[in-house]
Chain A
Amino acid sequence: VSLLLALPLLPLVVALWLALTPRAGEVAAGWVVALVAAFPVAVAGLVPSYRFELPELLVQGTAALVLDQTSRAALLLFGGLWLAAGLLLARRQVPGRGGAALPLLIALAGAITLALAEGGPLVYAGLLATGYGLYAVMAEGAGEQARRSSRALIVLLVASDLLVFELLLSVTAKPGVEMSAGMLMLGLGAFILRGGMPPAHAWLPPALESAGAPAAVLLAGVPPAAALFGALKLLPEAVQSLGTICLALGVAGAGWAVLAGLAQAGARATLGYAVAATAALLLVAFPAGAASGAVIAWLGVALVASCAALPLLALHPAGWTRDVAAAAVLLAHGLAAGQAAWHAASALPGPARWLTLPVALCASLLLTVTARRTLAPQKGAPPIEPVRVAYTPLLLACVGLLMAWDLHPPKFASAWVAPVGISLGLTAFRFLTARATPPIPPGDLLVAVERLVAVTGRWLHRMCTGRLPVIRDRLGQRVLRLWDGAAWSRRLREVDLRLRAWPATSLMMLLFALGAAFLLAR
């Protein structure tokens, strides 16, 4: 049995085992998740590249599991994030643990499938399992805010899934035919919807605010990473032609995220916007990355893991180790952002290429503000023992950055984003006044979207429970009115009487019967 096949199956087998032994302690469940997550990390680090064909799986006979540079990056990132979440789950004193082991394992199986899969339907299956698993992790959280944000997420996931489905159908139905720009845009839209990028970011800040620590690690890292690796595997190379559109969307998204993120009060809500800005940067870099292989994948690891490190740093007691770790996280993120911007600029024409830098600056600035808000001393906060788990995402970020540098050595142009972005972030934090309630609520658009959905829902409800049956009943009554039972009965009686009065009636009936018999016997 292939090791690659065992990777996605192991979390499912363990989930089944946990389901069959409901008395397994939650602490044990956390360790189990961490152990299972360590397996893909080990495979990504130790096993040489290879490919395992699975023609019997799903449809089209094109499925395979592949361990190459891109999948290694994805495997390392997902494994590392789940390892951190599992270790947190195993710690009794970490608030908001919940009983999230089963959804965590299902989502991990999906993420590993996504990391290794080749062939549209299998990648699609991995994307869906990751998305729905993450939704389940969120839905486990108590509270109205968690409920609202998970509802928004599921709507976005369903919409994104359908777009991906359409994209796959188009690619499969017309092989060799260059895809239209409209279809490419739809495909790109699918990954924007599930990546937490503005304007599909509204669920992320409130979700992060209400999530427990293990869930927050995943929420800060998995959506943009899943969107990036899904897009790398599913979108055709023709997507490079959309570089300018991606740039425009990325600039708008990053600007939106910075404005709304700076206006937040809480660290977690700001983190949501920092993740959104990072997702916008990945979108800008994606068209160039789609052509140049694994560089964008490793840069994605560095950027996303840096974001995921912040909820863990919040659990770390104050001290120089935490400050150094935070500085390292910001530096890794800034350097990776600069590299991504430079990489994106190299594939863009004319002066538009300079617009990639503000996007990188926005992402770096916002993460710095998040870090400052995360590490700001809070009155009455309970003392927490050192959480060394925090170093896992930091390590991932460093590995991602070094691997990207190894593939494409950094230039000076990519190095200055980190100091400038961090300095701007620190300045912004210094001059922003601390507020109890933010001027823009977390997930700015969420309320508006919820209202829209509620109005549509009410209209549909009225339509389904009131209008449609009324229309049906009216139509039925109109049809029945055509059938005047008493009148028809009277008419038939009259016809019957006339027929009886007619001497040839019996002969006619006989002829009718003979005619029917003849037709049947012919």
Chain B
Amino acid sequence: VNTNAWLPLLVLASSLVPGLIIFMLPEKASALRITLNLGGAVLKIVFLVLMMIGVYHGVVYEFRLPLVPGIDFVLHADALALLFVNLSAVLWLATTIYAIGYLENSPNRSRFFGYFSLCVTATVGLAMAGNLLTFLVFYEALTLTTYPLVVHRGTEIARRAGRSYLAYTLFGGILVLAGTIWLYSLTGTLEFVDHGFVDGLGIEPGVLRTIFVLLIFGVGVKAALVPMHGWLPQAMVAPAPVSALLHAVAVVKAGAFGVVRIVYDVFGVEFAAGLGVTLPLAVLASVTIVYGSVRALFQDDLKRRLAFSTVSQVSYITLGVAIAGPIASIGGLVHLVHQGFMKITLFFCAGNFAETLGIHKVSEMRGVGRRMPWTTAAFTLAAFAMIGVPPTVGFVSKWYLGLGALEVGQDWVVIVLAGSSILNAAYFLPILRTAWFDAPPERWPHERSFGRKETAWALLLPPLFTAFAGLAWGLFASMPGTPLDWVQLVAARKYAP
């Protein structure tokens, strides 16, 4: 085991070890807890930067541990894995800062932050999984570590949402397990390989299609593909940092990332297109995009509206992959990062409105822009990005998705994108209008004073940072070092002959 093998392990350990220590800390040890959380998050980013430089120059980072004969536990950091790990690591840092402010003086913080760290560990492990079995292990670990966060408040509604979440995601896990075992029995390998490992083995196409359906439906539960999306709006009872985690950092992204891995590294995108499974997947993603947006239209509960928006937006990633062309893949993969930054900003802002003024509903947001201008400005930027307004990141994603669809002759996707943009505008613009231009009420539902500031710094800085990143990466999309630049590297490697 050389240094290159240790780095993926260190990336895992940088959140696992602090998480395990935090479990044992008393509630009052908040200084130590914060130090461990932030220290781990910063350390993870440092390790990741080292790995990114290496991967860019072609270094292979792989840790391999034999489990049973023929199947290893593999952590492999390729360009695609690092895209997701980076997203998780950076947003974990932002969410940790936010959660510190959000949960100040609330009970069970050690439990919360412990599971929070474990959840990120599972996400990072899932991203760096080098084969389907390792992926499955972390996929299930993610389910089990996020469940306590969903039910953190301990109310009956939270428990019900938690039960629903468990039922959905464990069912998805069983489907992935079934697909994995079946695939292994036919191929004798589960290693993720560029262009897939099922091509050329002479396996019956019908069997492969069935396995594809099992795996996609399995990960589709977490990716909230219709009709497996039901858990996501229910899980909105969780605290705002958890919602941010579910929607932007970990769970739905893990599902979408699973789709990417299955299409690219299990089946191979050309082979999957040849099997005829990518077109139905694109149609399913399109249905999800439109359905999620339509359901979001008339939700008065702000977080619920955002949840249905996630159902819609995450499927852009699936759509980009399913279009099966290099440019569309760039659009889909870059949306993995872009959607994360946009959606986390929206949830941070929703949390700020709730924590500072007691606002939970869209109908309560009248004039909130005058009371909380910076939070509302961040919300506005993220909402514009969701609609796809240039120069925000949302425009970049939609641009590449549309171009990619036209490149491979699937012009109907452009109509789906246009319809989705109209619906996005229809459910975001009224919020912006009422927030900025309506007169504020005489009294807010439950106002907390933060002196001259509109809210606590720990609550304000994360959304401002993520919103600014969403703007800057859109404006300077073609610069080296942006997510788009990294995704172009990923696509070049995935589509290289």
Contact = CB atoms under 8 A, between A and B. Distances in A.
B184 A58 contact: no
Interface residues of A, number: 40
Interface string B433-447: 100110000000000
Contacts of B294: 460, 463-464, 468
Given A56-B479, A522-B70, A522-B185, A464 B297 contact: yes
Interface residues of B, number: 44
A466 to B, nearest CB: 10
A136 B376 CA distance: 15
A125 B377 CA distance: 18
Contacts of A128: 389-390
Contacts of B373: 19
Interface centre among B69, B188, B294, B418, by most chain A C-beta atoms within 10 angstroms, is: B418
Contacts of B412: none
A53 to B, nearest CB: 12
Nearest to B71: A520
A483 to B, nearest CB: 13
A158 B425 contact: yes
A307 B181 CA distance: 73
A58 B475 contact: yes
A170 interface: yes
Contacts of B69: 521
Given A169-B402, A172-B403, A461-B298, A124 B390 contact: yes
Given A154-B429, A465-B298, A58 B418 contact: no
Nearest to B388: A165
Contact of B399 (A121, A472, A519): A121
Contacts of A170: 406
A55 B297 contact: no
Contacts of A174: 406
Contacts of A452: none
B54 interface: no
Given A125-B391, A154-B429, A158-B422, A521 B70 contact: yes
Nearest to A158: B425
Given A136-B436, A519-B184, A57 B475 contact: yes
A89 B153 CA distance: 51
A323 interface: no
A58 B429 CA distance: 23
B406 A520 contact: no
Contacts of A55: 478
Interface in B183-203: 184-185, 188
Given A169-B406, A463-B294, A140 B390 contact: no
A121 B390 contact: yes
Nearest to A174: B406
Contact of A464 (B181, B298, B406): B298
Given A140-B437, A522-B70, A125 B399 contact: no
B421 interface: yes
Contacts of A238: none
B1 interface: no
A170 B418 CA distance: 13
A169 B415 CA distance: 12
B406 A173 contact: yes
Contacts of B400: 59
Nearest to A157: B425
B390 A169 contact: no
Nearest to B296: A464
Contacts of A162: 418, 421-422
Interface in B49-91: 68-71
A136 B433 CA distance: 9
Interface string A44-82: 000000000001111111000000000000000000000
A139 B436 contact: yes
B461 interface: no
Interface in A143-174: 154, 158-159, 161-162, 165-166, 169-170, 172-174
Interface string B381-422: 000000011110001101110110011000000100010011
A520 B391 contact: no
A166 B478 contact: no
A2 to B, nearest CB: 16
A58 B391 contact: yes
B295 interface: yes
Interface string A445-472: 0000000000000001101110010001
A55 B485 CA distance: 13
Contacts of B479: 56
B474 interface: yes
Given A463-B294, A464-B294, A520 B181 contact: yes
Contacts of A158: 421-422, 425, 429
Nearest to B69: A521
A520 B400 CA distance: 41
A169 B328 CA distance: 13
A58 B402 contact: no
Contacts of B227: 472
Contacts of B436: 136, 139
B469 interface: no
B68 A169 contact: no
A482 to B, nearest CB: 15
A169 B478 contact: no
Contacts of B70: 521-522
Interface centre among B227, B390, B407, B436, by most chain A C-beta atoms within 10 angstroms, is: B390
Nearest to A466: B298
A354 to B, nearest CB: 39
Contact of A520 (B184, B437, B475, B484): B184
B404 to A, nearest CB: 9
A340 to B, nearest CB: 31
Nearest to A169: B402
Contacts of A172: 403
Interface string B161-183: 00000000000000000000100
Nearest to A173: B406
Contacts of B433: 139, 154
A59 B398 CA distance: 11
B103 to A, nearest CB: 30
A460 B297 CA distance: 9
B181 A519 contact: yes
Contacts of B414: 166, 169
B477 interface: yes
Contacts of B395: 58-59, 121, 125
Nearest to A139: B437
B476 interface: yes
A173 B407 contact: yes
A463 B291 CA distance: 11
Interface centre among B297, B425, B478, by most chain A C-beta atoms within 10 angstroms, is: B478
Given A19-B377, A128-B390, A521-B70, 16 more contacts: A55-B478, A56-B479, A60-B478, A61-B478, A128-B389, A154-B429, A154-B433, A158-B421, A161-B421, A166-B418, A169-B402, A461-B297, A461-B298, A468-B295, A519-B181, A520-B68
24 contacts: A57-B475, A58-B478, A59-B396, A59-B477, A59-B478, A132-B389, A139-B433, A158-B421, A159-B422, A161-B389, A161-B421, A165-B418, A166-B402, A169-B406, A169-B414, A173-B406, A174-B406, A463-B294, A464-B295, A520-B68, A520-B71, A520-B181, A521-B69, A521-B70
Interface of A: 19, 55-61, 121, 124-125, 128, 132, 136, 139-140, 154, 158-159, 161-162, 165-166, 169-170, 172-174, 460-461, 463-465, 468, 472, 516, 519-522
Interface of B: 68-71, 181, 184-185, 188, 227, 294-295, 297-298, 373, 377, 388-391, 395-396, 398-400, 402-403, 406-407, 414, 418, 421-422, 425, 429, 433, 436-437, 474-479, 484
Closest 5 interchain pairs by CB? A173-B406, A125-B390, A139-B437, A56-B479, A464-B298
